[in-house]
Amino acid sequence: MDLPDIVRMIAALAVTLGLVGVAAVIARRFAPSALLRLKTPAEKRLKVVESLILDPQRRLVLVRIDQHEQLILLGEGRLLSAAPARPDSVPSASLPSAMEPSR
């Protein structure tokens, strides 16, 4: 390799690193505003309201989907049970005495 070849390689490396640096500065300066423009203003429909660990294998999760709440029992890597969190058709007479509301 001759001296002109080495100088040309170093110059090419400097130009490449300079372009990468310029791209990084542009991304830092303009990317956050571009991401905000792309974000939709719609509210998320799915939300984990509460999670309770029952034992090392099972977890109880209360999930809100739109205006409905769903109680989900998860365990062993799969869905064990799912039920509405507040069933509308439960009469108070069918509740056990420990579950009755206090007056």
Highest mean pLDDT among 27-36, 73-82, 91-100: 73-82
Tell me 44's DSSP state: P
pLDDT computed for residue 81 by the predictor: 77
pLDDT computed for residue 95 by the predictor: 44
Looking at the predicted structure, is the pLDDT value of residue 11 above 80?
yes
Q: Which residue has the higher pLDDT, 1 or 69?
A: 69
Count other Cβ atoms within 10 Å, centred on residue 61. Answer: 16
Q: Please provide the average confidence, as pLDDT, over all residues in the chain.
A: 79
pLDDT computed for residue 97 by the predictor: 47
**Comparing C-alpha atoms, which of 66, 65, 98, 61 is closest to residue 80?**
61
